[in-house]
Amino acid sequence: MAAALAMAPGTTLADEGEPTWVFFRDKGVAAGEIDQALAQRAATLTPRALTRRQRVRADGGLDRRDLTVFPTYRDGVLATGASHRATSRWLNAISVLVEPQQLAIIEALPYVTGTLPVARRQRSMAPPHLADQCVEPTPASGDREDYGLSASQLEIIEVDQLHNCGLDGSGVVAAVLDTGFVLDHEAFASLTVLDQHDFINNDGNPANEPGDASNQHNHGTMVLSLLAGLKPGDYWGVAPAVSVILAKTEDVTQEQPIEEDWWVEGIEWAEALGADLATSSLGYINWYAPEDMDGQTAVTSLAATVAIANGMVLVASAGNSGPGPTSIGAPADADGLIAVGAVNGDGNLANFSSRGPTADGRFKPDVCAQGVANWVVTPGSTTAYEQVNGTSCAAPMVAGVVALLLQAHPNLAPAEMHELLTSTASNATTPDNDYGWGIVAGYAAAGLYCTCIDLDDDTFYDVDCGGQDCDDDDLAVHPEAEEVCNGVDDNCDGELLDGEDDLDGDSAFACDDDCDDDDPDVHPGAEEVCDDSVDNDCDGDIDEDDSECAVDEPPPPPPPSTPPAEAPNEPLEGSCGCRQAGGRTGTWTFAALLGLIFLRRRHQEKRAA
């Protein structure tokens, strides 16, 4: 922000330092190093967080906002003597305790774009608690449908019907940002806590610590019980099987608690851990004028907007500054955040519930839930329960419904969740700035999940029970599937690709290399007929040009043998014969000589006679 907002009338910078935001001009990373820096940041996000981001974003899930504050800028501010309080990647800012003379030096630094007082909080739980209502519940039957003290506050938003169709928050992660949490009550015996952090004392203990007010953890403990408490037969929260991430972000020791910066730090932390949703029962309105409640000015609203853009569903109490108009606080003014007003058990709007519109004319609150005489656990007791008022009670009730709906429809983006809740609420067709879109109707919002069975588990329901899945036995067929060339309407739009009809019934398609979809004997893989002038197997070769039609030629005759070379004739030793090549006496030569000798002897005998 280029300039600081004016201070509220009558406020001054305290001698010990005033909590102040300091905003920087950039992240101090060269353009050529951005990709590497983002990859390093991605490695610090949980896979669950990165998957959620990528489901709703088109940029891989990260951008410059995810880079850390440039250490040189931070150190330059702290070198003035300011004390560090919190850091926000998303806002590219740090909050510090600063005195007037230090603030002037800081604002003159070349990399500082502006400063802003850390906003102060207005409590959202309407005091006092109802008198004489701290009770030990009478044991009930223990049946799932018997909610004990919780029955009416659950039934008004149709949670009982959601439980009856098997929804309890399993597999969903919810972050709760509040004053602190003590978890020794019986209603938290089965609670799953994935992580917890105290942003005030910067440690891992969200319960009371030395120096904390005795009631520090009360508000958060009550809020948590409405979301996720469980003592079957006596008490039920809305989503008793949800897993939680707990952030202690509000210091109640201050007369006017200062924790806007800790809330920003907390929401960034919870988002990076992979929380699917976050709920906070607070509202920052001091330091801000009504015209600032436009969703784009208060720093909590800016941080909430980034969390929503990252796929995280945010729920917040509308505030207890009613009944006047434009009494909504931050971050409830953020666009896309589900701001919750309070009604009593009869559905009538509580007088204290904050009203809209926002400064830019949007309806607020978004929806309502019971926030009068809600039963909560009693902090400091392990078995007692009491009743309290406030939009602080209504917000975790709606957050619980969000958890149940995310269990039913895990891929819902924040905008889709907002639409689902507002389009099914009691005032859906005539929203206003008192009730918003009305009292949440959880069962109606769950839709077909509670009336159909998703046979193939693709999150879409069969057309026969009102869904859009045209083949609920095939996981690959549903309205969001990609249409491929297989003869099936994969995306259930009633249309096939060009050439996907299989006109000849040979299970091959013109869109997938069937070169004649009118002839069942012609398709890839068919046997090539060698004399029909048809490319039967669609390989581009016909008849004798096809390798299947090649005629086998007889093998060539072996080459004639070559007689061995003759050696020179040599007279045989002791005879008149001649040696032939190879050293052997020629048989025919020898026979001829014998014949001549025989004829000569006959001739001599005749002459003698």
The residues annotated as belonging to the active site are 178, 219, 392
SS3 of residue 443 by DSSP: helix
Nearest CA to 72 out of 112, 99, 37 is that of 112
Radius of gyration of the CA atoms of the chain, in A: 43
DSSP conformation letters of 105-117: HHHTSTTEEEEEE
Cα of 491 vs its chain's centroid, Å: 23
Instruction: Report d(CA 243, CA 166) in Å as an integer.
Output: 17
Distance in angstroms (rounded) separating the CA atoms of residues 354 and 369: 13
Shortest CA distance to 383 belongs to which of 137, 22, 131?
A: 137
Centre a 10 Å sphere on the Cβ of residue 401 and count the other Cβ atoms it contains: 32
Query: Following DSSP, what letter does each residue of 155-224 receive, concatenated?
Result: HTTTHHHHHHTT-S-TT-EEEEEES-----SGGGTT-EEEEEEETTTTBS--S--TTS-TTTTHHHHHHH
Q: Decide: 330 and 285 in contact? Cβ < 8 Å.
A: yes
Q: Which amino acid is at 191?
A: L
CA angle at residue 512 from 473 to 495, to 5 degrees? 50
Specify the DSSP class assigned to residue 255.
S
Compute the distance between CA of residue 333 and CA of residue 306 in angstroms, rounded to an integer: 14
406's CB contacts (< 8 A; 6+ apart) are 172, 276, 277, 313, 412, 417
* 8 A C-beta contact, residue 23 and residue 1: yes
Q: Which amino acid is present at 529?
A: V
CA distance from start to end of the chain: 155
* 564 CB-side CA count, 13 A: 7
